[in-house]
């Protein structure tokens, strides 16, 4: 009888302990699961950000390499339009009192993008308006390119969106860079919530456009000693390791030029690059062998003259085809 009472007491204690363990587990397990889900979301977010950066970098690289036809179209349209004698809006607006105060208040009161845009206009900065127009016009072209370059194993192409596009200054040639900013709607995936994060990445690349011709202080064309240098062509396009490449440049007749090529490994020491002299028509040409160990990517070459005039251009090296 006594043994039966002891066994019953032990059974009751075991039941109490198992019940307390189950209660503690039911209280702690949701917290542990939430921590695990949180770390999974962080890992996914990091992967999405890296994939988005790679997508934007590839897109802006493609745009920079193929924007020359856009410049030609712009020049053709600009040449057909009559010259406008409008005064410089920025200089005239800066003379009005209180514009700085008004622009700051507009930026605070009005929601984005209306507030920042109107504030930029009042300050005389038309670049923001130009970028906004470029973004809306180029959305139908750039977004399909972004989706094409996206890693679909990580990114959902339908959630990609162009948020900013900045084109080079085709008219003044003072800015020769293309900037692309994209945003991606990242779904958190937490239980009982449908909240999302907006991940943004941007990349900038120098565009392949003609360089401006220098002018002296009187606004006249430069003399013989400071004439322009224009890169005509780089063949083939893209370059391939182990094959020959050719660069053609147009400048003034009998002008001494120097070619420098920079790869990832450093400055190229290939034969037949370096100094040369333009012929009687102003044409200069280099032919060299691209090393078989050249790293694929986008690299830069520069052509300079003794007076310091320099023109640079990016070019693409692709790996050997199998």
pLDDT tens figures, 112-147? 555 555 555 555 555 666 777 778 777 888 888 888
Above 60 in pLDDT, residue 6?
A: no
- Higher model confidence: residue 87 or residue 40? 40
Domain boundaries, given as residue ranges, for the chain: 40-76+126-206, 228-317
Q: Please, what CATH class does the domain formed by 228-317 belong to?
A: mainly beta
Question: What is the rounded distance in angstroms from the CA atom of residue 310 to the CA atom of residue 307?
Answer: 9
At residue 84, the pLDDT reads 47
Question: By the 8 A CB rule, do 59 and 200 touch?
Answer: no
pLDDT, mean of residues 208-218: 51
Instruction: Annotate 165-199 with DSSP letters as a single string.
Output: EE---TTT-S--EEEEEEEEEEE---TT---EEEE
Above 90 in pLDDT, residue 286?
A: yes
Nearest to 126 by CA among 74, 88, 77, 164: 88
pLDDT, mean of residues 152-180: 82
At residue 270, the pLDDT reads 86
At residue 178, the pLDDT reads 83
Burial of 53 (0-12, 13-18, 19+ CB in 10 A): middle
At residue 93, the pLDDT reads 44
pLDDT, mean of residues 53-66: 84
Q: What is the DSSP letter of 124?
A: T
At residue 183, the pLDDT reads 92
At residue 127, the pLDDT reads 64
Question: For 14-24, what is each residue's pLDDT tens digit?
Answer: 556 666 777 77
> What is the C-alpha end-to-end distance of the chain, expressed in Å?
89
Above 80 in pLDDT, residue 88?
A: no
Cis peptide upstream of residue 318 (ω within 30 degrees of 0) = no
At residue 109, the pLDDT reads 54
At residue 214, the pLDDT reads 45
**Mean pLDDT estimate for the chain:** 75
Place 30 in a pLDDT band, splitting at 50, 70 and 90. confident
- Tell me which of 91-105, 173-187, 291-305 is least confident: 91-105
pLDDT, mean of residues 175-180: 80
Instruction: Describe the crossing of helices 114-122 and 127-149 by its angle, rounded to 10 degrees.
Output: 140
Above 50 in pLDDT, residue 217?
A: no
Q: Which of 18-32, 64-78, 79-93 has the highest mean pLDDT?
A: 18-32
At residue 222, the pLDDT reads 41
At residue 136, the pLDDT reads 79
pTM of the model: 0.52
């Amino acid at each position: 009888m006594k043994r039966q009472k002891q066994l019953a007491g032990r059974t009751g204690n075991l039941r109490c302990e198992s019940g307390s363990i189950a209660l503690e587990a039911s209280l702690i397990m949701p917290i542990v699961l939430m921590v695990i889900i949180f770390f999974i979301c962080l890992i996914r977010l990091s992967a999405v950000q890296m994939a988005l950066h790679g997508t934007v970098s590839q897109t802006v690289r493609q745009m920079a390499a193929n924007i020359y036809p856009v410049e030609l179209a712009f020049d053709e349209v600009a040449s057909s339009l009559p010259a406008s004698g409008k005064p410089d809006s920025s200089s005239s607006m800066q003379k009005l009192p209180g514009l700085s105060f008004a622009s700051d208040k507009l930026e605070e009161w009005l929601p984005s993008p209306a507030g920042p845009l109107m504030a930029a206009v009042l300050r005389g900065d038309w670049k923001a308006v130009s970028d906004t127009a470029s973004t809306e016009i180029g959305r139908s072209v750039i977004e399909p390119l972004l989706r094409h370059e996206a890693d679909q194993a990580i990114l959902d192409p339908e959630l990609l969106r162009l948020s900013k596009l900045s084109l080079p200054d085709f008219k003044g040639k003072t800015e020769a860079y293309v900037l692309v900013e994209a945003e991606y709607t990242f779904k958190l995936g937490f239980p009982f919530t449908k909240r999302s994060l907006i991940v943004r990445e941007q990349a900038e690349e120098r565009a392949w456009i003609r360089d401006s011709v220098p002018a002296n202080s009187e606004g006249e064309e430069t003399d013989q000693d400071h004439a322009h240098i224009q890169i005509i062509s780089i063949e083939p396009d893209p370059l391939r390791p182990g094959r020959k490449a050719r660069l053609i440049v147009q400048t003034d007749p009998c002008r001494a030029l120097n070619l420098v090529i920079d790869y990832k490994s450093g400055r190229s020491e290939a034969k037949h690059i370096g100094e040369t002299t333009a012929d009687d028509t102003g044409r200069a040409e280099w032919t060299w062998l691209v090393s078989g160990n050249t790293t694929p990517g986008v690299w830069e070459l520069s052509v300079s003259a003794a007076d310091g005039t320099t023109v640079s251009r990016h070019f693409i090296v692709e790996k050997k085809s199998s």
